[in-house]
Structure 1
Amino acid sequence: MLELTRNGAYLKCSAIHVATGVEVSAMGPATEPEGLKRVAVAKLKRALASR
């Protein structure tokens, strides 16, 4: 699950693995939501691989 939250000029993208509850987030410019989604998913994959 991906969740986007805007705070002014910045966007926070949280990626949550529903089955395990592992959550990671990435922050960046609000003009690049697709890039933030890619970064958050990549971070989530790394977090799950290290478990």
Structure 2
Amino acid sequence: MNRGPRAGEIYIEFRQMGKQVQVTAIDAATGVEVSMFGPSSALQSDLQKLAVRKLKRRVEQVRAAELANKDQDPTLY
């Protein structure tokens, strides 16, 4: 079954790196990606919540920047 990304769909990856875990979260619809590190002793659900919150904030920032640039003349430097 092949389908495109849905709005609100988030991909999460956990990668063990010694005593730390790298958590990567990707917004499927926009392709915006964030990474963070946490202790390997932390609960995976807690790390996931933090990564998702960071991703949502980043998506908001990207959208705000796109709206701000929308009114600018692209031929100006």
Structure 2 length-normalised TM: 0.62
Letter aligned with residue 31 of structure 1: S
Identity, in percent, stands at 41
**More strand by percentage:** 1
Aligned counterpart, 2:17: 7
Alignment coverage as a number of residue pairs: 51
Using CA pairs under 8 Å that are at least 6 residues apart, name the structure with larger relative contact order, 1 or 2: 1
Structure 1 length-normalised TM: 0.89
Computing the radius of gyration from Cα coordinates, the structure with the larger value is 2
- In the alignment, structure 2 segments of 5+ residues that lack a partner are 1-10, 64-77
Find the residue that maps to 1:6 and give its secondary structure: strand
RMSD: 0.9
Deviating beyond 4 angstroms after TM superposition, the runs of 4 or more aligned structure 1 residues are: none
- In the alignment, structure 1 segments of 5+ residues that lack a partner are none
